Structure 1
Amino acid sequence: MGSSEDPNKPISVSDSSSPSHSQPLLSKSPFLSPIDSPPHNESDLNQFPHISYNHGPRSFKDIPFLILFLLFVLCTFGFGIFAIFHRNSNYSTVSSYSYNFNSTSCVKDSLSSANWVSLHASSLIWKDLTWTLVVTLILSVPICFGLLLLLKHYTKQIVYASLPFFIIVPIFLNVYWFVACTVGSTCSDAFPLAYRILVLVFVFLVIGVIVWIFVLNWHRIELTVSIIGVASDALSRNLGLFVALPCLTIGLVAYYAPIVVFMVFATFNGKIVPKVSKGEYVCVWKEDSWVPAYFALAILTMLWSATVMLEAQVYVISGTIAQWYFCREDETPRRSIRSSLRNAFGPSCGTICFSGLVIGVVRMVRAAVDSARHEEASGIVNLVLRCCVNALLTAVDFLNKFTINFAAITGEAYCSSARMTYELLRRNLLSAVFVETISSRLLVGIVLVISAIYTIVVCAILKAVSDLGSYSYIVAALAWVLLILVLGFFVHVLDNVIEAVYVCYAIDRDKGEVCKQEVHEVYVHLPISRSQRQSLNSRTVGV
């Protein structure tokens, strides 16, 4: 809409005589002021490519990283199979071996006894726990879809109705815990009154900080409501994602299962050897020297696979949303999820592996830096090194923010996607690190409110119809964890939809088109990049 370009046309260098670039960007839209229009000039038009969704055949990108990932997987499975066939069956009977001074080795006793510890759990607790989790899992599906429909049609009402609960629920839980602990003799004896008051006051201070954050960002609530509404509408038009994405997660779990089995059997590779302990010879199990290396390989493969799957989900979401965004109003994209899956695990598989590797390395380095910060490492050198590492990690996050979204739309390689995304946002005065972060916090708050209310209801029902006693709190807490996981997945998907729509909106601005008017009406109010605005102002003054 607003362009005669063929939607099936892949990326190509734009023609400087194109009508879409001969006028001020989005001049047809009443929502942009002159300062919001990106400073295109003739050199920019000749230098930067024409960006659109690539419907055509895509070439394979970043193949070395795909080969490296497959090499990790093959080595993990290969050595795992070797571990199964090379295992030592004496591992389970190591306690029946004793040291023989004549042969100076460990030999198996002729008679051995084993002590079996019987772990008895109440069948009533397990029955109630099982039924509670099953019902929670079943109810989580309509809760997610109901929340999506409410956010689509009544976003403002849901957000403003949830805001008071961000304060009421923590206050209720804080007071309830304090009163219950004071009344209960066991808790009151283990937790003195002075400490209970201290925790009570501390929680109220945290609640006060939350209120202060809301007051400070109140002017952005209205924009956040609109962004969530637009993203919910986009997601509701692509409900097939709620089938494809959980299937990818289930596939990851099924992929993890044999690796876990391999790691278990790897511990069976070794032998029983004598060892001096407290002046006496005892028989212990000694693993083969290659077992720790295999554990490291398996753990690295699992971590890399997890980040690859996360990036694959982002890729599928972005590709599906982009096809919906760039299609005409009177058309419905066909097989958009299938084509996104085919591109993700086909031509762009190496790009996804590259992105997963980058994210995995960044998280591991950041975890190492955080752990070193809590140790006694001090001195100006360590401080400077931590600052440099943090700056480097921040720069990588900055470049990686929308890279996989752009790759899903265009089919470009990882490095070119990172460069082109940065240039795209810079040309259009859009921030590469800010979409509207408060929307994620609001969504998380809504999820916490819903899960807290559900947990309170579950706990009340369990206390009324069962004889669990204090165990009802544990069962309700586990139901809360399960619902949080499901709703957290919903928030994760909606966050990625927001970012995918943001990249599509940036492409629209860059081409001077309006494919989705309702998106432009909302995203045009996002703050522009301050540094680029300053450069634009200085350029204007110089002219």
Structure 2
Amino acid sequence: MASSDDVTGKSPDPPSKPLLFPYIDEFHHHHSPPPSESDPSSSSHYPTTITYNYSPRPIKDLTFLLLFLLFVISTFAFGIFASINRNPNPPSSVSAFSYDIRTDSCVKTENRVLFFNLFLSDSGYILKNLILTVVVTLILSIPISLFVVFSLKHYAKQLVYASLPFVVLVPVCLDVYWFVACTVNDTCSERFALVYRILVLVFVLLVVGVMVWIIVVNWSRVELTVKIIRVSADALSNNLGLFGVLPVMSLGLVIYFAPIVLFLVFARLNGEFVPRGKRGKVFCEWEQDGWVPAYYALAILTMLWSAAAMVEAQVYVISGTIAQWYFSKDDSRVKRSIRSSLRNAFGPSSGTICFSGLLIAIVRIVRGAVDTAANEDASGMVNVVLRCCVNALLSAFEFLNKFTINFAAITGEAYCASARLTYELLRRNLLSVVVVEVVSTRLLAAIVFVISAIYAIVVCVILKAATDLGVDSYFVAAVSFVVVLVILGFLVHVLDNVIDTVYICYAIDRDKGEVCKADVHEIYVHLPISRNHNPAYLNARTPLLV
């Protein structure tokens, strides 16, 4: 167990001092009181105070940082070697080589120059409008994102309630449109008999009906989730600098990937043309160097680990910044909070981030391997066993990893210590390790989908009126829809991490018997303590579907 000096930079209180203060607050009469002093979990080896660690932090998980740097350095070193050692004749030029019996080797017999003609008539006009639309969309994505954040902060309830009908209407309209269009079209009606078309129509309507039923049954949870979204949007609006830092971090990852991708291309050119005999004839064939597949594996693993580590670094920066806002007094704006979070993320806690990224990368590789095996012709029992093992692994990892990086960003602890301390913190305060509102993600996804669809419709109308694209305007509008959806999806990812961070900060407040943000306590106190727990105030109104 890490000492309290590591967590807060302060000396621990005497062992005789109670660890858990009785949390008596007007907001918490719905929950049972925290464990008593006699509880074994409240022994003196737990830190007496947990808060944001502003003091200089020691380096944690250095082994994994060194291992990550070893992967990166090896990838770039062998990539530079592959670039220098590459064959100037690519494998595609094998037809230009023939077997020379005098030297018993393959020699180049002719020089071929390939000419590529680009026909940019109609396609050039489409491409021009597509690029212009994407550029305008990227520029407009900034005010659109700010509009979403401030709308969720001040009008979250109205925005959610306005979006929910579209979640139902859009699939219903598409279903009815497909049924009518297929009935009118002779080719479609021949391929799909009337019975099958009716079955598809009814099936989609039944799915929509189930969605409506879930929304109605969980209406009280929707109201709670709206409040959680509003609080997270308020926290994010007080730290708008994240909108500049997080995209820059993603752009930095792309720039970092660029030379690795180039190295992979050059590595493919490491080899030579060798003679091969077949049916009495000798011809030339490209033979790749034996080390190239190993380098491909190394480079791909490095990219996967780097991508996962960058995602964890973004979560770390979000959590560190939001935590400083949460623990600030009198709602005062914290200066240089993002800068200090970046310094900690790429400094003392870089090993922790690399460790977390490695675990996530391993889980994704295992899950991808099992999904691939499931699609192959393997025995049914093997597929079931593999899926059970992977599901157990994923569940155990999610149980361990949930809130770990958030806690590490707040305290500066190592990965394993953060996982253990987070679990104990939530357990002592009768809070769940895995239960935070998942409805918020679905509601935010619904809002993002509706806004992206409205934007695409507006783009399509403008293109129809101002250009001669015709049917191609639908394609350009679809691309703009995807661009807005991806950008706002990133915003949802940020808001989800803000919700998790505020949840951990609320747990720290509850553990200390303090209230740093009263409005947060008013809302988060009503979260269920387990998947099978229904808060009393919700049971009195309508049952929950969990």
Considering the TM-score relative to the shorter chain, is it more than 0.5? yes
* Matches of 2:383 and 2:154, distance apart in 1: 52
* Matches of 2:226 and 2:30, distance apart in 1: 26
Q: Cα distance, 1:483 vs. partner?
A: 0.7
Q: Is this contact kept in 2: 1:169–1:449, CA < 8 A?
A: no
Match in the other structure for 1:467: 468
**Of 360-369 and 293-302, the range deviating more from structure 2:** 360-369
Q: Is this contact kept in 1: 2:370–2:386, CA < 8 A?
A: no
Match in the other structure for 1:539: none
Once the two structures are superposed, residues 270-293 of structure 1 have per-residue CA deviations (whole angstroms, 9 ceiling, x without a partner) of 111234578754433221111111
Secondary structure, aligned partner of 2:269: coil
How do 1:8-87 and structure 2 match up within 5 A?
Answer: 10=9, 12-15=11-14, 23-25=21-23, 27=24, 29-33=25-29, 35-42=31-38, 44=42, 46-49=44-47, 50-87=49-86
* Matches of 2:70 and 2:518, distance apart in 1: 47
Match in the other structure for 2:89: 90
* Matches of 2:171 and 2:380, distance apart in 1: 40
* Matches of 1:270 and 1:155, distance apart in 2: 60
The 3 A distance-change label for structure 1 pair 378 and 215 is farther
* Matches of 2:216 and 2:30, distance apart in 1: 31
How do 1:172-251 and structure 2 match up within 5 A?
Answer: 172-180=173-181, 188=188, 192=192, 194=194, 199-251=200-252
Q: Is this contact kept in 1: 2:20–2:34, CA < 8 A?
A: no
Q: Which amino acid aligns with 2:429?
A: N
Structure 1 vs Structure 2: percent identity of aligned residues? 62
Once the two structures are superposed, residues 392-421 of structure 1 have per-residue CA deviations (whole angstroms, 9 ceiling, x without a partner) of 321111110110000000000000000000
TM-score by length of structure 1 reads: 0.90
Match in the other structure for 2:106: 106
Query: Structure 2 unaligned runs (5+)?
Result: 1-6, 535-546
How do 1:451-462 and structure 2 match up within 5 A?
Answer: 451-462=452-463
Q: Which amino acid aligns with 2:489?
A: G
Secondary structure, aligned partner of 1:419: helix
Post-superposition, which runs of at least 4 consecutive aligned residues in structure 1 deviate over 6 A? 530-533
Match in the other structure for 2:509: 508
Q: Which amino acid aligns with 1:76?
A: T
Q: Which amino acid aligns with 1:72?
A: F
* Matches of 2:310 and 2:215, distance apart in 1: 34
Match in the other structure for 2:163: 162
Residue 349 in structure 1 maps to residue 350 in structure 2: yes
Q: Is this contact kept in 2: 1:11–1:410, CA < 8 A?
A: no
* Matches of 1:477 and 1:532, distance apart in 2: 42
Q: Cα distance, 1:382 vs. partner?
A: 5.6
Q: Cα distance, 1:209 vs. partner?
A: 3.1
Secondary structure, aligned partner of 2:329: coil
Match in the other structure for 1:335: 336
* Matches of 1:358 and 1:321, distance apart in 2: 25
* Matches of 2:30 and 2:523, distance apart in 1: 17
Residue 397 in structure 1 maps to residue 398 in structure 2: yes
Q: Cα distance, 1:310 vs. partner?
A: 0.2
* Matches of 1:238 and 1:154, distance apart in 2: 19
**Of 252-261 and 469-478, the range deviating more from structure 2:** 469-478
The 3 A distance-change label for structure 1 pair 412 and 370 is same
Match in the other structure for 1:3: none
Match in the other structure for 2:290: 289
Once the two structures are superposed, residues 278-323 of structure 1 have per-residue CA deviations (whole angstroms, 9 ceiling, x without a partner) of 8754433221111111111110000000000000000000000000
Q: Is this contact kept in 2: 1:355–1:414, CA < 8 A?
A: yes
Tell me how many residue pairs correspond in the alignment.
523
Residue 436 in structure 1 maps to residue 434 in structure 2: no
Match in the other structure for 2:522: 521
The CA RMSD over aligned residues, in Å, is 2.6
Query: Structure 1 unaligned runs (5+)?
Result: 1-7, 534-543
